[in-house]
Amino acid sequence: MMKPFSRSDRVSALIQQTLGDILRKHIKDPRLKMATITGVRMAKDLKNARIYFCISGGPEKVAGALKGFESAQGFIKRELSAELDLRYMPSLKFFYDESFDYGTHIDRLLKSIDTDGNDHTPTETG
């Protein structure tokens, strides 16, 4: 039997989806235009949310996005509060998701290793 999702998992997913919509539709800050919410981790007591995002463009863009999220935090909390039926609105903390940089780095390494020019696409037999 599968373990049911905890309330914090459900709230995390709701916040991630709703925050993505808010970013696309309501945030005008150019620092946040290309930011993507990659994950939300809720504390078990639902009082704190760690929100992870990625953005391309290097450290300057990351710093700008962090400042953008900081200045838009009040607006974001009000929008989330209006959309989500939560008894208590969690405090929001934004973090850059470095796993995407790591993935891009690994991808580049793999491409640099494959310099023989061969196409390694598997052929379909059947």
From residue 111, alpha-carbon distances to 43, 67, 101, 104, 105 in Å are 39, 34, 15, 11, 10
d(CA 11, CA 42): 7
**What band does 100 get if pLDDT is binned at 50, 70 and 90?**
confident
d(CA 50, CA 69): 12
pLDDT tens figures, 54-88: 998 889 999 999 999 999 999 999 999 999 888 88
Contacts 24+ apart (CB under 8 A), 116-122: none
Q: Is the pTM of this model over 0.85?
A: no
